[in-house]
Amino acid sequence: MDRGRVALSRQAPYIGNVVRRSSPWLAPLGFLALFYFYPLASILQTSFARGEAGLVAPFIDVISSASMRGVLWFTLWQAALSTLLTMLFGLPGAFLLARYEFRGKSVILALTGISFVLPTLVVAAAFNAILGPRGWANLALMDLFGLIQPPIHFVNTFLAILTAHVFYNTTIVLRIVGDYWSHLDPRMGQAAQTLGADRWRTLVHVTLPLLMPAVTTAALLIFIFNFTSFGVILVLGGPRFATLEVEIYNQTIGLFNLPLAATLAMIQLVFTLCLTIAYTRFSARLSSPNTLRPRRFSQRCLTNWRSRLLASLYLTALLALLVLPLAALVTRSFLRVEPPRSGSTNWEADFTLDYYRELSVNRKESLFYTPPTTAIGVSLGYALATTCLALALGLPAAWALARDARSPASRIFDPMLMLPLGTSAVTLGLGFIVALDQPPLDLRASILLVPLAHTLVAFPFVVRSLTPSLRSIRPRLRQAAEVMGATPLQAFRHIDLPIIGRALLVAATFAFAISFGEFGATALVARPEYPTIPVMIYRYLSQPGALNYGQALALSTLLAVITALSMLAIERFRVADVGEF
């Protein structure tokens, strides 16, 4: 009896240490288990149960179907090509922002970040406003040359898909690679040049090997987003193009072929899991202390005319891609464009506020009409709820990752946190409906479904925003607090929290902006009487008429302005350190 008590007393510190180290994972993993894995397993089980030829039959159908193989091949190569174009376009900007200091730099970073959190419907409306059949470019050319038909055919082309992907993901290269590049010690390259290496050999043999963790991390993250692209393909690509995500949507909503949709979802999950594991491995190397130095040692001013000219040309091209569509969208929302009158070839445009006034008008006098002003309030409420949930779940997960980055638990759970980003929103939405239909989780008719779905999307961004800041805290500070008698909670409140306060503001702003513009999951689980702004934009875009199109532009402009203010706040409070977002 005494020996048993002695053994238990010896094991008690070990058990207590295990419990203490695993406790931060309980809430995040519990949330993922309940609202991610359980709905996903339910929809897959329901889907395969409807198969007539057994469990393996849907996989055989996908492998033997030429059309499904074509969908998978198109998903892979469009993602690879989009990633390559984004890296080629973004790397010069990463170098410029990393090595040089100039006026307006923070504003440019904020402007490039707006595109990353804009919903696809706003992007589609923006590109339509500048390159669509009645976009500014086509109207100008038709007016200049007296043409009847628009000469530029951009929408519903593969070029539109590639352009939109570069539009969305360039900021990832600027932030991940640019931040890491700005902290590389410039003395290594200077030492190589002192030993006789020219600039090209220094770039190839010194700089690029040091940059590879950041370049690979950015490329993998961009590939994941392109691989799971839905709105860009559906809205801008047109019916000729379909990725796995679009095909899951078509098979589920259009054909109700749940076994095939579930098979495609599983294939997508396997790819995403492999990619996220590789992503987390490379992203962990970004915090390597061997070659990193403060920015003041690596950045300099643009001195000669050649560097200023090249910087001006690149920044002009960057802003043209990322700002002109949004500027065209805002301008178009204040103008009523009329076709040419008889005997004239000139289009007429008049300034108007009617599209904004119409947002609160119920012209059909329908009892079931929900004004867009209600959608604005609903979106704000959902965004605030999402921000609170994402921070409550993301902070302990980021703290656990920062504390035990190389532990087996972190290596397993870290890629798991990224899985919701690569999962079909259609599959998750149907999983919510199928799984959460019985007490105590009968939430199918609850407004809680939307913030829960938004939290799944925003939660990984919160973790990635907080982890680098938490890793920067020196362990000796916590150890000194513990020696002086502080509890872990007191150490966190008085040491960790003041240091990561700005990172918390950035993470909260990210979660708010992502929730405010999320469309894919919202379209499936939102109640009709509580629509969000993106849902209302989709409703207006799907209805004919100039007035509906104008109201879609007005709502898109409001959403773009709120997103821009959010990104400006992120740049204002963002910690100048190596990070992922």
Three-state secondary structure string covering 391-440: HHHHHHHHHHHHHCCCCHHHHHHHHHHHHHHHCCHHHHHHHHHHHCCCCC
SS3 336: strand
**22 is a domain residue:** no
**pLDDT attached to residue 578:** 41
Domain assignment of residue 200, given as a range: 34-573
d(CA 17, CA 293): 35
Q: Determine whether 199 is exposed, middle or buried from the number of CB atoms within 10 Å of its CB (0-12, 13-18, 19+).
A: exposed
**pLDDT attached to residue 405:** 62
CB 424 within 8 A of CB 268: yes
**7 is a domain residue:** no
**14 is a domain residue:** no
Give the Cα-Cα-Cα angle 563, 566, 569 (nearest 5 degrees). Answer: 155
Q: Provide φ and ψ at 300, rounded to 5°.
A: -140, 170
In this prediction, the residues of the chain whose per-residue pLDDT falls under 70 are: 1-22, 46-58, 185-190, 192-193, 195-199, 204-205, 284-300, 302, 339-349, 362-369, 404-410, 422, 424-426, 474-475, 478-479, 488, 570-581
Q: Which residues pair with 350 in a beta bridge?
A: 336
CATH code, 340: 1.10.3720.10
CB 394 within 8 A of CB 462: yes
d(CA 153, CA 273): 37
**pLDDT attached to residue 193:** 66
Positive or negative, the CA dihedral 72, 76, 81, 83 is positive
- Residue 350 DSSP code: E
pLDDT per position as a tens digit, 327-369: 888 888 888 877 666 655 566 667 888 888 888 776 655 545 6
Hey, what amino acid is at 428? Answer: L
**378 is a domain residue:** yes
Q: What pTM was estimated for this model as a whole?
A: 0.79
**pLDDT attached to residue 85:** 95
Hey, what amino acid is at 86? Answer: T
**pLDDT attached to residue 57:** 67
**pLDDT attached to residue 289:** 45
d(CA 238, CA 13): 61
**Cα–Cα distance list, 31 to 110, 224, 359 (Å):** 32, 23, 37
**Domains: count for the chain:** 1
Extract the tokens encoding 28: 């995040």
**27 is a domain residue:** no
SS3 523: helix
DSSP for 35-49, please give it: IIIHHHHHHHHHHHH
**110 is a domain residue:** yes
Positive or negative, the CA dihedral 235, 532, 335, 120 is negative
**149 is a domain residue:** yes
Quote the mean pLDDT of the chain.
77
**547 is a domain residue:** yes
